[in-house]
Amino acid sequence: MDERTNESGRPVKPVYGPEDLAAGLDERVGQPGEYPYTRGVYATMYTSRPWTMRQYAGFGNAKESNARYHHLLRAGSHGLSVAFDLPTQMGMDSDAALASGEVGKVGVAIDSVDDMRVLFDDIPLGEVSVSMTINAPAALLLLLYQLVAEEQGVPGERLTGTVQNDVLKEYIARGTYIYPPAESLRLVTDTFAYCHAELPRWNTISISGYHMAEAGATPAQEIAFTLANGVQYVRAALDAGLAVDDFAPRLAFFFVARTTLLEEVAKFRAARRIWARIMREEFGAQNPKSLMLRFHTQTAGVQLTAQQPEVNLVRVAVQALGAVLGGTQSLHTNSYDEAIALPTEKAARLAVRTQQVLAYESDVTATVDPFAGSYAIEAMTDDLEAAALDLMARVEELGGAVHAIEAGFQKTEIERAAYEIALSIDEGSRVIVGVNRFVVDDDERYQPLRVDPTLEAAQRERLATLRAERDAGAVEEALAEVRKAAEGTDNVLYPMKEALRARATVGEVCDTLRGVWGVYQPTERF
């Protein structure tokens, strides 16, 4: 029999027993809600309440996305997760030359506080937890959200949610960066400080392995490079004068859940254990919440197939089960049609129903960490921990995450792994149902959701109206204050908020920062 390996390239034994467990298992595993949090960050986990069911959505203009959010909330979603279009992610307005053809295509177009107001119309921001998948201009979108909440009469201390704000992974795997790493880190740490003072319940960053996994990272690479980025953010915040226990409790993480259920469960358990040890031993954190790796999970978009798309319903269910058994705090389940186009309403509702079946019809919420003590899971957890620590040590040898990024280390490692995956699929050694095995000749026709082609022109008209109506002098004065803060050492979020309140656009504020900080130019040096 050929030896099987897992996604990280480690051998998987056909039978595990007590001889596969290293000494000191009780100390490495601990109890749920106790250091080192291998078994979960909370003592009761889902026995008291299920995870947050947070569906990722956004397309077209703010009005269309608002309608989808109301649909998801009616379907039983506990929280919202906002997808922004590419121009917004790059800090460009919808009427920018480079935005042509991309407005509203992969998310919602948000140019100003006017759009954000429409996006959350009739949604009580003091009651709904909102996550925003935005990175380089994350501080801007968070401030727009806060301004709209204030208009609703909701103070900052009541707002709950997460802003992704993880720009380091953009240099590694995604590419929606704007500024050079040092300036990007300053914006991140200014956001930490601002939220500590103004939005104390807000998760200031979601340090993301998901996008690395989508680019081809193995589970070991995913947690290693994500946690290495986390270490870099903590160091940057400490260098900026923040106290570790003032910001670390609001750090959050974001991982993928693949169909390889056992390895994914082990991955989540290993990641919690590594992070707890780093925060206690390297950074001296005293608050238990500073040691807890809390994370959101999304099922693996890269594993969805356009062929026989209904099979994706099964894939997503298996992936979601792995995330739950691994102890996630919140979960997004992909829609079965996402390999073809933006999800239809029916597909999005089925994605929510998948989570509800797990939460309310299965027994996985009846007990905490049901795989604890499994010979296979405990051995895989130890193995993944060792593999991840080895990769993290290599990042440290290069001087930390930023220097390793500049050397191209993480990107090169992920690309190598992605190539090996693609090769194994082409050769047939990795089975993809409906793609290289169990293929049908004639798939049923599927009618995808399409974005209104007139949307871009309408969004440009909204911008023209905004610029005609607003006080141009007030905008210029506010942007001058942003420029002054960027040139100095003051927290840039306070003047940015005032500029946005004056109806400056996302692109105008980002252009002001570009004028001071410049734009990152990647190099290939590893």
- 38, 371 contact by CB (below 8 A): no
pLDDT of residue 296: 95
pLDDT of residue 2: 62
Any idea where the domains of the chain sit in the sequence? 4-427
Strands (E), 129-282: 129-133, 161-163, 202-203, 205-208, 251-257
Residue type, 284: G
pLDDT of residue 54: 86
Which DSSP helix (H) or strand (E) runs through 295? strand 295-299
For the chain, which ranges sit under pLDDT 50?
A: 1, 526
**Phi/psi class of residue 101: alpha, beta or left (left: φ > 0; alpha: ψ in -120 to 50)?**
left
- B/e letters for 97-128, b = 16+ CB within 10 Å, e = fewer, are eebeebbbbbbbbbbbbbbbbbbbeebebeeb
User: Beta partners for 306?
Assistant: none
Q: Which among 271, 322, 368, 370 is positioned nearest to 45, based on CA atoms?
A: 368
Between strands 52-57 and 129-133, the pairing is unpaired
pTM: 0.91
> What is the number of other CB atoms lying within 10 angstroms of the CB of residue 374?
16
pLDDT of residue 444: 64
CATH fold of 4-427 reads TIM Barrel (3.20.20)
Indicate the DSSP class of residue 93: -
Instruction: Report the distance separating Cα 141 and Cα 62, nearest Å.
Output: 13
Burial class (CB in 10 A: 0-12, 13-18, 19+), 426: exposed
Backbone angles phi, psi at 20, to 5 degrees: -85, -5
23-42 residue pLDDT tens = 899 989 999 999 999 999 99
